[in-house]
Every structure is written in C-alpha cells, then in structure tokens.
C-alpha cells in the first residue's frame, strides 16, 4: 500500500492534467450537434485506459457508445470481480453567460477544477481509473478483477446500457458494482449512499386557438393556453407540498425510525442550506426534514415551461399553445412506469374542454435501495474512513442513476455508491467543478477499496 500511496502522491499533477484533457470533450448527450464529440470522447477514454494496460473496447449502440475496460486477468481467475460504472456524457452547459470560465476549457481556481462534467461524472470515475493505474504501474497485484463500464447516455435516461447488460450478462457476471456518481456532505463526512430516487419524465402540451391571436381583439373570449397550463400544473401540489394525483403515494415505503435517525446524523444547517441554494426560505412536504424531503420523498417538478412570446420587449398575444417538461422523483416502492401512466391519465382528465392536450411519456427509472450493513458495505465504509480520516455517514440521495436498479435486476448484484461530489460542486448548474482534494482522496479511497473488498 505504501508504494501505491507514493505513486498516487507523486503523480497528482499528471492525473489532473489528464483529467483536463478528458474534460475538454463537450460530450453533451442531449444535443445532436455533439454526436461526434461523444464518439471522440469515448475513443479517448478507450485509448487512455489501453495505455494503462487495460483491455478496452468501444461498443457502438443505437445511441451513444459504451466504453469498457478490463484489468488484465488470467483465464481461470478466482479473484472477486467488480464492475466500476461511470458516465462520460455531461449535461448541457447552458446558460453559457453564467460561467466564470468556459465549460469546456477546464480551469483551476482555489483548489477546484471547473468544467462541465468535472464532478458529474468524469472526475469521479477517473479517480477509480487512476487508483487502478497505481496498481498496474507499480507492479502491485490487484486483489480483484475489475471491469470499467462507462456509458454515454446517463444524463438522458438512455436505454443502450440496459440492452448491453442483457446481452453481455456472462462477461459482466460480478460480485458487485462500485459507483462514484453521488455526493458527500463535506470532506469530513465521506458517505456511502444506500438509496437513490427513481424518476419518470413526461411532456404535456395544451393547444388552444390554431394560431397566436391579438390579445386585445380576442382576449377574454377564449381560454389562454399559458394560463390554463399554469392553473393545471399549479394544482398538482397543495399548500402542504403534497402531490394531489390520487394514488400517487399508495406504494411509498414509510421511513423507519432507524432511517430517520441515520438521516438526522447527516450534518445540516438550515441557514447554510438556504445560502447554498440562494433562496429566502425553504419549501417542502410538511412533516419531513429537508434531508428526508430530498432523499426519501417523491416530488413533481416542472423542468421547463414554455408558452407564447419570450423575445425582447412586449407582444400582445393569446398564445396558441403552452407546454411543460415534467419529471417526478420516486422512492421505494413506487413503480416508475405505473406512476407515469397514473399521472398522464390524471392530466388528461384535467384537460380544459376548450383545448386539446398531448402527453408524451418520457424515460423512467425505478428507485433503488440496498442494505448498508453487509461485509462489502463494511469494506466500502472502511475505505472511505481510511482515505478521508473521518467516519462515513449513510445517505439516501435524491438524484437518480437509472442503471443501478438494472444492475440489481439483470446482474443480481448490489451497487456501492461512494460519491465524491461536494454540495457546492454545481452539478447540472453553471460553474460545475470538482474539489481536487475530494478527487485525490477519492483515488486513495479506491486503492484501499480493492484490497478491502477482496478481504471481505
Ligand atoms: N450524478 C447524477 C445523480 C446524482 C447526483 C445522484 C447527486 C446523487 C447525488 C446523475 O448524473 C444524474 O444527474 N442523473 C440524472 C438521471 C436522469 C436524467 C434520468 C438525474 O438524477 O437527474
Ligand atoms: Zn448528472
């Protein structure tokens, strides 16, 4: 282990330089203009892992490519086998004018590396790769066989990896999956995440008059689609922050007293939290703490809302249509596909008689929860403690990583979520960054992990 530590310490700057190269690819999965950047980025990752001595492949899919990289192993290896999952796709960087440095020109400021994808997720899985490099380049025997699986459709709820898992079930047979794509409260509270929320996406559109109308000549005599959609969506949650769709909460698992105690251990200050988010006050479902609301309770969110004229100045019209992009976050034991149907039916039933409604169903991911108490979880907790020097906390995260539930369903294995993102890393926001101390401690955590997991 001493040799590994030394290798990691002396290579720190080079690791950062390489991460900078990786972050330069504008691998935005949602935007078709970046299709080539996606394949270029996948190719770079495959070449890089190959140069470290891994056996790499780029798999073409109907969508964006998948990269796999396997550590050298003997044919009849008896070592435990783990998958390391990550995603090289990133969220769109817009609005660009809010970035202090361009999103795809990685910039170092105050111990942080700023770039889209720095923390979500390139920096986080790159830390694992660098730990493996330390083993391979120092000639230290890796106690586990590892296969990196890095996809390009995580941020768009893509299906390619699900299909890939089903088709490559044999090669991917493993003892567990390790993922760093979640967060930790701060560097003194490393975290093992044992639950993720699921998600269900839809788009709803109301069409009224067959064209935009003069709001002076016709306004008042015809229902305004912008107003109608606002009223409809406004009714989706009540003043207590409860979603009003009948049946929405039917399958929601109750929080146990044990879980509420665990969540209460996570450091939290309301004042700091408000400051972090830039809000005057908080709002959420009555009867739950903020950590419970965002980790263990479902939500209904408007992600985008469009109607009428959005350009410069004023334009007096009754717009012909209005639409909204919606996602719901779901918790155990809600079924994402079932909730999507339920909500779509409910919306349809509320369509004003003077209008036409279209509901487009989007991607779904089921919620995930795993026991944080087994021997492998203990190995993960020990590795966090060794690298960060503090006792880890157990988290339920509000974000979603759709494939994790499929690892359980298709490969029949648990996933250990060891997140390196800090609350101010600005995931999905302007000025995303990774804290370089979290990154380097993450590499050391990973180096410890393979030894601890093999012993467990
Ligand atoms: N890394 C995030 C998920 C995350 C972030 C989990 C922080 C826990 C804490 C991931 O890249 C992500 O953003 N996922 C999407 C999935 C969706 C598009 C299906 C999400 O949660 O919105
Ligand atoms: Zn993300």
Average pLDDT, consecutive stretches of 10 residues, N- to C-terminus, the chain (456 residues): 96 98 98 98 98 98 98 95 98 98 98 98 98 98 98 94 98 98 97 97 98 98 98 98 98 93 90 96 97 96 97 98 98 98 98 97 96 95 98 95 97 98 97 98 98 96
What's the pLDDT score for residue 110?
Answer: 96
Torsion (CA) 272, 276, 279, 280 in degrees, nearest 10: 20
What's the pLDDT score for residue 64?
Answer: 98
How far apart are the CA of 299 and the centre of ligand 1, in A? 15
**What does the alpha-carbon distance between residue 65 and residue 222 come to, in Å, rounded to a whole number?**
49
> In the Cβ-directed half-sphere of 73, how many Cα atoms lie within 13 Å?
19
- In a mutational test of the pocket of ligand 1, which residue from 399, 417, 426, 428 has the highest number of ligand atoms less than 8 Å from its CB? 399
How far apart are the CA of 37 and the centre of ligand 1, in A? 21
Fold annotation for 2-196+368-455: Aminopeptidase (3.40.630)
Sign of CA dihedral 224, 227, 229, 235: negative
**What does the alpha-carbon distance between residue 404 and residue 413 come to, in Å, rounded to a whole number?**
10
Q: Provide CB contacts within 8 A for 324, sequence distance 6+.
A: 203, 204, 205, 229, 233, 302, 304, 305, 306
Element (H, E) at 167: helix 160-167
What's the pLDDT score for residue 74?
Answer: 92
How would you class 250 by CB atoms within 10 Å of its CB: exposed for 0-12, middle for 13-18, buried for 19 or more? exposed
**What does the alpha-carbon distance between residue 87 and residue 85 come to, in Å, rounded to a whole number?**
7
What's the pLDDT score for residue 376?
Answer: 97
CATH class, 198-252+298-365 region = alpha beta
How far apart are the CA of 120 and the centre of ligand 1, in A? 8
What's the pLDDT score for residue 262?
Answer: 84
Are 184 and 422 within 8 A, CB to CB? yes
Element (H, E) at 66: strand 66-70
Are 64 and 151 within 8 A, CB to CB? yes
**What does the alpha-carbon distance between residue 64 and residue 73 come to, in Å, rounded to a whole number?**
28
* Residues near ligand 1 (Cβ within 6 A): 120-121, 154-155, 157, 181-183, 199, 363, 365, 397, 399-402, 421, 427
Alpha carbon distance, N-terminus to C-terminus of the chain: 17
What's the pLDDT score for residue 265?
Answer: 87
**What does the alpha-carbon distance between residue 43 and residue 49 come to, in Å, rounded to a whole number?**
10
How far apart are the CA of 77 and the centre of ligand 1, in A? 34
Extended beta strands in 233-333, E state: 299-307, 317-318, 321-330
| Atom of ligand 1 lying closest to residue 199 CA | 19
What's the pLDDT score for residue 14?
Answer: 98
Q: What pTM was computed for the model?
A: 0.94
**What does the alpha-carbon distance between residue 18 and residue 54 come to, in Å, rounded to a whole number?**
17
Of 78, 82, 430, which Cα lies nearest the Cα of 278? 430
What's the pLDDT score for residue 285?
Answer: 98
Query: What is residue 368's three-state secondary structure?
Result: strand
**What does the alpha-carbon distance between residue 181 and residue 434 come to, in Å, rounded to a whole number?**
12
**Which sequence spans correspond to the domains of the chain?**
2-196+368-455, 198-252+298-365
User: CA-CA distances (angstroms) from residue 97 to 90, 94, 429, 430?
Assistant: 18, 8, 12, 9
């Amino acid at each position: 282990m001493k040799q590994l530590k030394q290798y990691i310490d002396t290579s720190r700057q080079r690791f950062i330089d390489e991460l900078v190269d990786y972050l330069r690819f504008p691998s935005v999965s949602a935007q078709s203009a970046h299709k080539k950047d996606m394949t270029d980025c996948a190719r770079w990752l495959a070449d890089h892992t190959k140069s470290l001595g891994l056996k790499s492949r780029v798999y073409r899919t109907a969508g964006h490519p998948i990269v796999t990289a396997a550590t050298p192993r003997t044919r009849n290896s008896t070592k435990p086998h783990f998958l390391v999952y990550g995603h090289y796709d990133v969220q769109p960087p817009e609005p660009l004018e809010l970035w202090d440095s361009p999103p795809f020109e990685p910039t170092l400021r105050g111990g942080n590396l700023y770039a889209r994808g720095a923390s979500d997720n390139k920096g986080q899985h790159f830390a694992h790769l660098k730990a493996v490099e330390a083993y391979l380049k120092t000639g230290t025997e890796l106690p586990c066989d590892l296969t990196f699986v890095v996809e390009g459709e995580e941020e768009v709820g893509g299906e390619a990896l699900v299909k890939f898992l089903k088709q490559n079930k044999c090669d991917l047979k493993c003892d567990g999956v390790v993922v760093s794509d979640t967060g930790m409260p701060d560097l003194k509270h490393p975290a093992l995440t044992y639950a993720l929320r699921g998600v269900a996406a839809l788009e709803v559109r109301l069409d009224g008059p067959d064209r935009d109308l003069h709001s002076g000549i016709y306004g008042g005599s015809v229902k305004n689609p912008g107003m109608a959609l606002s009223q409809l969506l406004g009714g989706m949650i009540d003043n207590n922050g409860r979603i009003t769709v009948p049946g929405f909460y039917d399958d929601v698992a109750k929080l146990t007293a044990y879980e509420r105690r665990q969540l209460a251990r996570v450091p939290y200050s309301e004042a700091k939290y408000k400051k972090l988010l830039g809000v005057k006050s908080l709002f959420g479902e009555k009867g739950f703490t903020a950590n419970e609301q965002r980790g263990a309770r479902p939500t209904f969110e408007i992600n985008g809302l469009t109607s009428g004229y959005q350009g410069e100045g004023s334009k007096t019209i009754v717009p012909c249509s209005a639409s909204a992009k919606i996602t719901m976050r779901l918790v155990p034991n809600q079924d994402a596909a079932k909730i999507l149907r339920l909500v779509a039916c409910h919306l349809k039933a509320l369509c004003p008689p003077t209008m036409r409604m279209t509901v487009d169903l989007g991607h779904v991911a089921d919620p995930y929860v795993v026991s944080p108490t087994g021997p492998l979880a203990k190995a993960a907790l020990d590795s966090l403690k060794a690298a960060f020097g503090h006792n880890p906390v157990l988290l339920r995260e509000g974000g979603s990583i759709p494939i994790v539930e499929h690892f359980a369903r298709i490969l029949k294995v648990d996933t250990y979520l060891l997140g390196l993102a800090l609350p101010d890393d600005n995931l999905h926001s302007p000025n995303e960054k990774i804290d370089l101390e979290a990154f380097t401690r993450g590499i050391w955590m990973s180096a410890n992990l393979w030894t601890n997991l093999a012993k467990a």
